[in-house]
Amino acid sequence: MEKVYLSIVLAPLIGSIIAGVFGKQVGRAGAHWATIIGVAISCFLSAIVFNQIVINDGETFNGAVYTWLVSDGIRFEVGFLIDELTASMMMVVTFVSLMVHIYTIGYMKDDPGYQRFFCYISLFTFSMLMLVMANNFMQLFFGWEAVGLVSYLLIGFWYKKETAIYANLKAFLVNRVGDFGFLLGIAAVLMYFNSVDYADVFAAAPDMANLTVQIIPGLDWNVMTVICILLFIGAMGKSAQVPLHVWLPDSMEGPTPISALIHAATMVTAGIFMVARMSPMYELSTTALSVVLVIGAITALFMGFLGLVQNDIKRVVAYSTLSQLGYMTVALGASAYAAGVFHLMTHAFFKALLFLAAGSVIIAMHHEQDIRKMGGLKKYMPITYWCMLIGSLALIGTPGFSGFFSKDAIIMAVGESETPGATFAYLCVLLGVFVTALYSFRMFFLVFHGKERMDHHTKEHLHESPGVVTLPLVLLAIPSVFVGAIAVGPWLFGDYFGNAIYVAEQNDVLARIGEGYTGVMGFILHGFVTPVFWLAAGGVFAAWYLYMKRPDLPGKIKAQFGGIHRMLDNAYGADDFNDKVFAAGSRKAGSFLWKFGDVKGIDGFIVNGTAFGVGKVASMIRHLQTGYLYHYAFSMIIGLLLLVAGILIYA
Amino acid sequence: MSDLPLLSLVIWLPIIIGFGVLAISASGNDNAVRWSSLVGSIIVFLISIPLYTSFDTTTAEMQFVELVSWIPAFGVNYHLGVDGISMPLILLTTFTTVLVVIAAWEVIQTKVAQYMAAFLIMEGMMNGVFASLDAVLFYVFWEALLIPMFLVIGMFGGPRRVYATIKFFLYTFFGSVFLLIALIYLYFKTGDFSILGFHDVKIGLDAQILIFLAFLIAFAVKIPMWPVHTWLPDAHVEAPTGGSVILAAIMLKLGAYGFVRFMMPITPDASFELDWLIITLSLIAVVYIALVALAQDDMKKLVAYSSISHMGFVTLGFFTVYSIYEQTGSVSGAALGVEGALVQMISHGFISGAMFLCIGVLYDRMHSRSIADYGGVVNTMPIFATFMVLFAMANAGLPGTSGFVGEFMVVLSAYQANFWYAFLAATTLILGAAYTLWMVKRVVFGEIKNQNVAELKDINKREGFVLGTLAFFVLLLGIWPAPLVEVMSATVEHLLQQAVTSKL
């Protein structure tokens, strides 16, 4: 099987190299075929692995491919751990990636960087697979940073756009703040476990549960808490949790296919995957779980609010992604890892669908992204319309759609959870449901219904997107509807994950919920009687009322609550704060240290000062050497007199 | 093959070729000069390869040893040999010299022979420093090395080259004097100048501390460490591209090499007492200098400061052993740091060399190093931009490139010494990325900024070859560092034993 795993990883890499290095030789078609075939092979083989590991309950694979290095008796290896969690992630990643590859043919068809784009997205697929298939922390970190690199390259894909190259630098640096914590977390793991191999670390973790360390002298901290929080800082960067969320909205500067693939379906979920993978460690620290829970809850609700005031179609979806990532994080914090990963999977499908549908709208609108200039698109783009509707219904958790199962499970799990902060989190995720429905259908109505607000020229050319664009939409719409119903039983309440996810008995909220689980239909019917459903319905109704029935109202509300609107419009001022404090602050600190430390202090005072001082002394001494014989004779006589006088006195 | 005195060859052959090249130039044929320099440097590189291939990785003993009496009256010998620390540095030297010769091909049009000869002679001397096991021999190479570098900057440098060369010379000379005093003291202790003999001699703590400080001054200037680093940005800015490459890739390593060849084995007790000093200076280098790099608007200065910051990892990696030993009574976890530091030295050789070559490519075309003069280079030089982004990422320590390996290992090791060491060291993830990628953003990306950028031509085959070769090694070392680490491990183990064995 090892060869199969290797092929899954290498096929997209080879495709990427062909498209990137030999892009000119193979041409545009060659580039897209090379990469699509590569990813298709990956996807097909992932399906085989999925079948073997998950459906036929095969043995977990854990083995090294090669030894990266050995130092101090510690082996750093590149290897794979293939269990139920990995196999599911591989399936999601390769399938969404394949869809995005096909979609790209249509979306990027006029772009001069066509081959480069395919090179990057295939490279991304490779990196993401390395991340999810890793069997050790070192490789995880490799994948972690490699997806960050590709994200950087793709956000700045249109490198002439100032906003794009600002956004990609910002994305990379904010992610690096997360990686800073992550790296320290790995260092801590190595220190206490003397290994970076998952299996070794997880096996030894329970013995470390009560170990404490004093990082700040005098304060005893639990080692597991320290490790888990450090690692979670990494997840906060990659999965855009408050306060490291600021890069994700800006990342929408990149082409839409990658917003779907990287910034919605896969890369941003790496943090969720990582925490789920580390469940044997997180389960040992209630403090860490509580931190995860609260951060997730804040992200879920407060990022959702921001979606309400966005006018760029992609930014609406981006804030929705932030909010949904918050939901997943909340699930992790409530020890409902399976629910978090379940939402990750359903979200990957419906959010990729929403992004690609938004992209389809953008193509039709000639790259206009302002929803205030759209409207009534339903009749021009029926396939996109229905796909967008399915995506939105799945997102808001309409009973029966895939998102319903995962989101309801999360909300119930939080309700059951006893982790500190769970009550706050429960309120956040409940209220979040209303907000999600409101902003989703605000966008939906503004884009597809109501008055046609685009200009005349655009309207003339409006038409449905070509087959390479709509086919992936349809293919993603199918799982967006059905995958939840199919998977909910085994994933949440069955033994789907086997030993891949560990939950301590007292934290096992899903098991408690599962006691009342009677099957898919029962779950759906139950869904109609919960407050969740009514909140979602209320959100849709509010959107309809505000943007269809009484379109004059939003303006009035905006005028009435100008302060709140401004706050939301500025995204709580997080960007300004970061720019002024961190970016400008470190630049100023740098200038200051340079000017006063290096230039004036060391160079000016010590180095050149010494040189100057030597010169000064020399020029003073030079005056003694006048060249006149009588000066020398005079000083000799004086010297002699002093000498003789000295001898006489002391003798 | 093994019967040949390989070390003598890699020292003296380039020096002889260097003088030969000067003789050829009398005929006025610059192309003959170029070709003979190239062939010469390639031959030296090929000769150095068996040092790696026939290296015995199981022992910490010196290998390829040559020992001839030189000045018997003072116990001075012509004593050469390499271990797992010095051998990779010799290969780095012979490899980099080839690239420097190729990189100068059309760029240097006047005084070609002097330029080539200076680098070839420097190559031999640097190899001499790394291979010397006799302190006098070491010192001779160490000092003589200044002359060709002095000439390279002085003859081929920019407008402020005189200030830069004098600063460079005085700074390093100032340091070297202390080195000489320490070596003479050790001679009186042991009766000869054998460096390995110095390793074994017992020395009292006060004397050790003085020797330690003398060594520190000499080596800290070379590395350079804060606060004796200010010669480096000036020297880099004024030096021609080849000079910067050799300076960054190899000369800085001489100081770090001194740490492991002299300070740690000869003055272990003083190192144990004063490790806080080195670690503080290292962390200042990592954080302070990275912030300073952020403020630069000259590309070469920026990369020069980045070099200092990266060298902070090297010195940090070396000296974590003492804190670890103090806390746990064993050296477990310290080898990671020392090996990481050594990998960082090699990796930094590739990456900083590549960064300076990239800046050289731009400078050759636009005659400006100022970031503000560039913008949108990717539009006219896409292949170059690809290389530049790759090396920038390597400079920012991206996994998969060599820049990651050393930093990763040092941070892991530093954590075992003290959380806050690792915390401060790891800020390089953010700051290193910030100054490097911000420069890339301003130089490479964006709209074409001005007419000069619009007229830029992409790199030619020669430049592509040089950058491509470096890119290959940067990636190879990032993906598979094991072969390099394997060579070092026996030596490092031995070094760590020396470092924690008291000599009082």
- A629 burial level (CB within 10 Å; 0-12, 13-18, 19+): exposed
pLDDT beyond 80 at A623: no
Give CA–CA dist A360/A338, Å, rounded.
33
Q: Dump pLDDT digits (tens) for B44-66.
A: 999 999 999 999 988 888 999 89
Q: How far apart are the first and last CA of chain B?
A: 43
Residue type, A459: K
Written as one string, the DSSP assignment of B368-412 is: --BGGG---HHHH-HHHHHHHHHHHHHHTT-TTSHHHHHHHHHHH
Of B378, B411, B485, the CB nearest to A69: B485
pLDDT beyond 90 at A367: no
Q: Dump pLDDT digits (tens) for A131-161.
A: 999 999 999 999 999 999 999 999 999 999 9
pLDDT beyond 50 at B349: yes
Q: Cα distance from B159 to chain A (closest Cα, Å)?
A: 19
Amino acid B2: pLDDT: 53
DSSP A495: S
163-182 in B: which are within 8 Å (CB) of A? Answer: 167, 170-171
H or E element in which residue A61 lies: strand A61-71
Average pLDDT of the residues in A233-262: 90
Amino acid B475: pLDDT: 95
H or E element in which residue A396 lies: helix A382-396
The answer to whether A69 contacts B482, with C-beta atoms less than 8 Å apart, is yes
CA distances from A575 to A324, B430, B436 (A): 21, 17, 22
Joined together, the tokens standing for residue A525 give 């019917």
Establish whether the linkage from the previous residue to B227 is cis, with ω within 30° of 0: yes
**Per-residue burial over B300-310, b = 16 or more CB atoms within 10 Å of its CB, e = otherwise:** bbbbbbbbbbb
Contact of B408 with chain A, judged by CB distance below 8 Å, is answered with yes
Amino acid B119: pLDDT: 93
Closest CA to B91 of B148, B131, B121: B131
Average pLDDT of the residues in A75-92: 92
CA distances from B280 to A214, A217, B218, B323, B426 (A): 21, 19, 18, 13, 15
pLDDT beyond 90 at A635: no
| Chain B CB contacts of A606 below 8 Å | 227
CA distances from B487 to A75, B59, B130, B346 (A): 16, 10, 16, 13
Residue pair B385/B462 in contact (Cβ under 8 Å)? The answer is: no
| Chain A CB contacts of B421 below 8 Å | none
B167 — phi, psi (to 5°)? -60, -45
Average pLDDT of the residues in A620-634: 80
Which chain A residue's Cα is nearest to B437? Answer: A169
**Per-residue burial over A48-63, b = 16 or more CB atoms within 10 Å of its CB, e = otherwise:** ebbebbbeeebebbee
Q: To which residue do tokens 């967006």 refer? A: A480
The answer to whether B415 contacts A184, with C-beta atoms less than 8 Å apart, is yes
| Chain A CB contacts of B294 below 8 Å | 586-587, 590
Amino acid B157: pLDDT: 80
Residue type, B140: V
Amino acid B298: pLDDT: 92
Q: For residue B192, what pLDDT band results from cuts at 50, 70 and 90?
A: confident
Average pLDDT of the residues in A238-257: 90
Joined together, the tokens standing for residue A400 give 């029966």
| Chain B CB contacts of A69 below 8 Å | 405, 481-482, 485-486
Q: CA B427, B433, B434 angle in degrees (round to 5)?
A: 90
Contact of B294 with chain A, judged by CB distance below 8 Å, is answered with yes
Which chain B residue's Cα is nearest to A589? Answer: B291
pTM above 0.90, yes or no: yes
Closest CA to B401 of A326, A53, A595, A146: A146
Closest CA to A337 of A206, A184, A483, A498: A498
A519 — phi, psi (to 5°)? 125, 170
Q: Dump pLDDT digits (tens) for A171-192.
A: 999 999 999 999 999 999 999 9
Region at A632 (left for phi over 0; alpha for psi -120 to 50; beta for the rest): alpha
Mean of the per-residue pLDDT values for chain A? 90
Share of chain B above pLDDT 90, in %: 64
Contact of A579 with chain B, judged by CB distance below 8 Å, is answered with no
CB atoms within 10 A of CB A505: 7
Q: Dump pLDDT digits (tens) for B277-335.
A: 999 999 999 999 999 999 999 999 999 999 999 999 999 999 999 999 988 888 888 89
Written as one string, the DSSP assignment of A11-54 is: HHHHHHHHHHHSHHHHHHHHHHHHHHHHHHHHHHHHHHHHIIII
Amino acid A217: pLDDT: 82
The answer to whether B446 contacts A594, with C-beta atoms less than 8 Å apart, is no
Q: Dump pLDDT digits (tens) for A304-362.
A: 999 999 999 999 999 999 999 999 999 999 999 999 999 999 999 999 999 999 999 99
Which chain B residue's Cα is nearest to A163? Answer: B446
Residue A418 CA to chain centroid, in angstroms?
28
360-399 in B: which are within 8 Å (CB) of A? Answer: 376, 378-379, 389, 393, 398-399
Give the torsion sign (CA, A73, A77, A80, A85).
Answer: positive
Amino acid B1: pLDDT: 44
Give CA–CA dist A328/A300, Å, rounded.
9
Give the torsion sign (CA, B331, B335, B341, B342).
Answer: positive
